[in-house]
């Protein structure tokens, strides 16, 4: 069994999605056996953390112990994203599994998503999940590629996850503009990413789509191919078509029905091997 992530942190913005996060980590350890998994719930209001949720966490912890994986767990009162970031930094966490709050409408975007605040400032990758996985496998991972330079920073993480789970990467070139120059750039970036990964023994499929709202275009594609995971950049991209709906990355996290892995922008990361 390959191990990429040695230290994992399982958490949830609200209690109702903690079981989904537990389900994901239970699946993940079948492919990646970490040294330690920490469970931490932190919220200003602990009243909704009922016994049923605590029992589900306990079941997950028992499974970790049966596989000789060390665990820690705590329930604390305080600010969610600040508390989790502090914990991740203190414990040198490699990956955070986070249950995102299930709330409909634009109220979340007005106040800002606590999960997205965590993702933007986290010292490591974050996988957010709203609902239990529809099956215990990750065989199709969608990798959207747009016109931005940073979009290609997702490629190394995509390769890691594909090799870990034995998955195919579905590279999706997306554009909100139909101009020839824009489509040419998207095509070039997507083809470069697909070629780079296929040359390194990763199974790749390539598709191009155009639409006004990149979130809707991408998530419709995820549904159409019955994908299991989506990779995005945690970059504040303006959304001129829905000012009350949040940035496109935040929309992805709150609308996706499959786990979303967010990659934090690295200013120092060179993409010379993708140079045009």
d(CA 215, CA 244): 14
What is the domain range of residue 231? 140-274
Exposed/middle/buried for residue 162 (C-beta within 10 Å: 0-12, 13-18, 19+): buried
pLDDT at 177: 87
pLDDT at 270: 46
Q: Are residues 235 and 163 in the same domain?
A: yes
pTM of the predicted structure, to 2 decimals? 0.89
3-state class (DSSP) for residue 120: helix
Show the low-confidence residues of the chain (pLDDT under 50): 107, 109-110, 238-245, 268-276
CATH number for 251? 3.40.50.620
Q: Are residues 156 and 233 in the same domain?
A: yes
Domain assignment present for 237: yes
pLDDT at 149: 80
Exposed/middle/buried for residue 195 (C-beta within 10 Å: 0-12, 13-18, 19+): middle
Exposed/middle/buried for residue 163 (C-beta within 10 Å: 0-12, 13-18, 19+): middle
Domain assignment present for 134: no
Exposed/middle/buried for residue 126 (C-beta within 10 Å: 0-12, 13-18, 19+): buried
Number of domains in the chain: 2
d(CA 60, CA 242): 39
Domain assignment present for 2: no
Q: Are residues 111 and 185 in the same domain?
A: no
φ, ψ for residue 206 (rounded to 5)?
Answer: -130, 135
pLDDT at 104: 58
d(CA 197, CA 143): 12
Q: Are residues 124 and 160 in the same domain?
A: no
**How many C-beta neighbours within 10 Å does residue 74 have?**
11
């Amino acid at each position: 069994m390959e191990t990429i992530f040695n230290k994992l942190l399982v958490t949830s913005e609200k209690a109702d999605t903690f079981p989904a996060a537990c389900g994901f980590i239970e699946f993940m350890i079948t492919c990646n056996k970490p040294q330690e998994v920490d469970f931490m719930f932190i919220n200003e209001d602990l009243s909704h953390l009922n016994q049923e949720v605590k029992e589900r966490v306990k079941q997950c912890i028992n499974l970790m112990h049966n596989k000789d994986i060390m665990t820690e767990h705590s329930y604390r009162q305080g600010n969610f994203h600040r508390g989790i970031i502090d914990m991740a930094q203190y414990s040198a966490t490699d990956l955070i599994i986070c249950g995102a709050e299930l709330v409909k409408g634009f109220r979340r975007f007005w106040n800002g998503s606590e999960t997205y605040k965590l993702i933007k400032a986290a010292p490591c990758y974050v996988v957010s999940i709203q609902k239990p996985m529809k099956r215990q496998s990750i065989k199709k991972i969608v990798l959207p590629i747009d016109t931005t330079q940073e979009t290609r920073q997702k490629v190394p993480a995509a390769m890691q996850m594909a090799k870990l789970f034995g998955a195919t990467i579905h590279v999706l070139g997306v554009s909100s503009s139909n101009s020839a120059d824009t489509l040419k750039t998207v095509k070039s970036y997507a083809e470069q990413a697909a070629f780079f990964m296929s040359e390194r023994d990763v199974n790749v499929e390539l598709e191009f789509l155009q639409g006004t709202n990149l979130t809707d275009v991408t998530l419709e594609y995820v549904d159409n191919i019955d994908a299991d995971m989506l990779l995005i950049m945690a970059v504040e991209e303006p959304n001129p078509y829905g000012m009350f709906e949040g940035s496109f990355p935040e929309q992805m996290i709150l609308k996706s029905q499959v786990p979303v892995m967010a990659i934090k922008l690295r200013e120092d990361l060179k993409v010379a091997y993708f140079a045009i």
